């Protein structure tokens, strides 16, 4: 559970079991929802209200984001990692040639992304503080800050001072998946490396918000534990951050585990209907927060979710260092892509669904 969650696991299970479709319908009529409303919308009883939830979520999305969908690219700058996360192909037990891109290579990658027409970049790296630590990440930020209108990062958790340095280097947001809020399971899935420290990870967004980061991305990895219990913790974590870091915008993601080479099997697979219910519930309860949908998901699902939930989509993604400028000989990606459409194809689909493509979050020149 999220450490600040006052409810016990059994109380949450009771709430889920007792919720009714009528209660869920009443939540959809409320102007503003609270934590218990979120639980009601996540409950099994709300499944029969998916069409109504879709309409309600679409109205909420329209109110705060209009028809806009922002596109971005993840740029993997390093797959070197000292952690042993059992569900990830970059984990330290896997033997393949690791790559940490040089600044010159990153510049070529950035050119390749800009040539695709994208202007928002998510820098991604494994955890390797000696070879690709804070100085390296700051140098990358300084290299790219004036070439993209929005720069964010998905890297190992940092101290608040570290986040402050990253912010000053040009990064304006971070994404950090808690993976699982179940602390026992967390220990089991992270047998080695600094990532074993659950507490340091779970308070990352708080430190980043205090350091000035404008967007705080959060998620758990879908498939590791029961999604309804994880979603209850994610919701509590988000409400806590909204209060503590009110200057920052929250950005949710709902990443499902995709196959990895050593055959890790998720114990609690999440199907499309489960995922949709969860995304709709979060869109309704957190209407002003962002929702990202990545290329882990298939085109048809992404296209549906962009209309009622997601305001942010990756496009044309490469999940290996050097993937855009063909700098890598071998393609060891962090996860399997399920949407291999080009940027142009994704953006054409956004327009075909009646939405507008946005490349810039904001313009620092204004």
Nearest approach in angstroms of CB 307 to ligand SF4 is 30
Binding string, residues 46-85; x marks residues near ligand SF4 by CB under 6 A? -----------------------------------x-x-x
Binding mask 327-366 for ligand SF4 (x = CB under 6 A): ----------------------------------------
- Least distance from ligand SF4 to the Cβ atom of residue 79, Å: 7
Please give the Cα distance from 201 to 192 (Å, whole number): 14
Shortest distance (Å) from residue 267 CB to ligand SF4: 17
**Cα gap 351→355, rounded to integer Å:** 5
Query: In angstroms, what is the minimal distance from the CB of 92 to ligand SF4?
Result: 7
- Rounded to a whole number of angstroms, the minimum distance from the CB of residue 103 to ligand SF4 is 21
Q: Which long-range contacts (CB under 8 A, 24 or more apart) does 172-175 make?
A: 172/213, 172/214, 172/215, 172/361, 173/213, 173/214, 173/215, 173/216, 173/217, 173/251, 174/204, 174/205, 174/208, 174/213, 174/215, 174/216, 174/217, 175/122, 175/217, 175/218, 175/219, 175/251, 175/253, 175/292
What's the token pair of residue 283? Answer: 């869109």
Q: How far is the CB of 151 from ligand SF4 (least distance, A)?
A: 20
To ligand SF4, the closest distance from the beta carbon of 223 in angstroms equals: 14
Nearer to ligand SF4, 117 or 266 (CB): 266
Binding mask 238-277 for ligand SF4 (x = CB under 6 A): ----------------------------------------
Instruction: HSE, CB side, 13 Å, CA atoms: give it for residue 303.
Output: 16
Binding mask 283-302 for ligand SF4 (x = CB under 6 A): --------------------
188-221 burial, b if ≥16 CB within 10 A, otherwise e?
ebbeebebbebeebbebbbbbbebbbbbbbbbbb
Which helix (H) or strand (E) covers residue 72, if one does? Answer: strand 68-78
Shorter beta-carbon distance to ligand SF4: residue 90 or 198? 90
Q: Does 132 bind ligand SF4 (CB under 6 A)?
A: no
Q: Taking CB under 6 A as the criterion, which residues in 83-102 touch ligand SF4?
A: 83, 85, 88, 90-91
Beta bridge partners of 219: 177
For the window 175-204, what string marks contact with ligand SF4 as x by the rule CB under 6 A? --------------------x---------
What CA–CA distance (Å, rounded) separates 149 from 117? 12
- The C-alpha angle with vertex 175 and arms to 218 and 157, in degrees rounded to 5, equals 100
Q: Tell me the site size for ligand SF4, rule CB under 6 A.
A: 9
Per-residue burial over 70-88, b if 16 or more Cβ lie within 10 Å, else e, is bbbbbbbbbbbbbbbbebb
The H or E element spanning position 311 is: none
User: Which residues 134-163 are close enough to bind ligand SF4 by CB under 6 A?
Assistant: none
Which is nearer to ligand SF4, 157 or 173 (by Cβ)? 157
Shortest distance in whole angstroms from residue 91 CB to ligand SF4: 4
Q: How far is the CB of 345 from ligand SF4 (least distance, A)?
A: 28
Contact 96, 321 (CB under 8 A): no
Count of C-beta atoms within a 10 Å radius of residue 230: 27
Cα–Cα distances in Å, from 230 out to 235, 260, 319?
A: 9, 22, 26
Residue numbers 9-38 binding ligand SF4 by CB under 6 A: none
37, 127, 230, 274: residue in contact with ligand SF4 (rule CB under 6 A): 127
Q: Which residues bind ligand SF4 (CB under 6 A)?
A: 81, 83, 85, 88, 90-91, 126-127, 195
């Amino acid at each position: 559970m999220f450490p600040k969650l006052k409810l016990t696991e059994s109380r949450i299970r009771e709430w889920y079991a007792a919720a009714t479709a009528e209660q869920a319908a009443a939540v959809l009529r409320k102007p503003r929802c609270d934590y218990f409303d979120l639980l009601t919308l996540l409950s099994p009883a709300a499944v029969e209200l998916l069409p109504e939830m879709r309409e309600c979520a679409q109205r909420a999305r329209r109110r705060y984001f209009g028809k806009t969908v922002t596109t971005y690219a993840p740029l993997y700058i390093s797959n070197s990692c000292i952690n042993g996360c059992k569900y990830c192909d970059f984990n330290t037990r896997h033997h393949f040639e690791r790559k940490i891109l040089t600044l010159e290579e990153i510049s070529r990658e950035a050119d390749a992304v800009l040539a695709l027409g994208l202007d928002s970049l998510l820098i991604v790296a494994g955890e390797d503080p000696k070879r690709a630590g804070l100085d390296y990440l700051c140098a990358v930020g300084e290299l790219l800050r004036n070439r993209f209108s929005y720069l964010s990062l998905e890297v190992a958790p940092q101290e608040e001072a570290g986040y402050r340095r990253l912010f000053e280097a040009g990064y304006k947001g971070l994404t950090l998946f808690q993976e699982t809020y179940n602390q026992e399971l967390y220990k089991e899935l992270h047998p080695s490396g600094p990532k074993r420290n659950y507490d340091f990870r779970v308070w990352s967004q708080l430190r980043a918000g205090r350091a000035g980061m404008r967007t705080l991305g959060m998620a758990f990895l879908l498939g590791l534990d029961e999604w309804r219990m994880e979603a209850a913790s994610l919701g509590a974590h988000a409400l806590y951050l909204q209060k503590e870091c009110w200057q920052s915008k929250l950005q949710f993601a709902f990443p499902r585990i995709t196959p990895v080479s050593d055959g890790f099997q998720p114990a609690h697979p999440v199907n499309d209907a489960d995922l949709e219910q969860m995304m709709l519930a979060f869109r309704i309860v957190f209407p002003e927060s962002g929702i990202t949908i990545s290329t882990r998901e298939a085109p048809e699902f992404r296209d549906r979710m962009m209309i009622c939930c997601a305001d942010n989509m990756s496009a044309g993604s490469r999940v290996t260092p050097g993937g855009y400028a063909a700098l890598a000989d071998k393609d060891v990606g962090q996860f399997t892509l399920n949407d291999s459409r080009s940027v142009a194809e994704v953006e054409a689909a956004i327009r075909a669904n009646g939405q507008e493509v946005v490349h810039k979050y904001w313009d620092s020149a204004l």
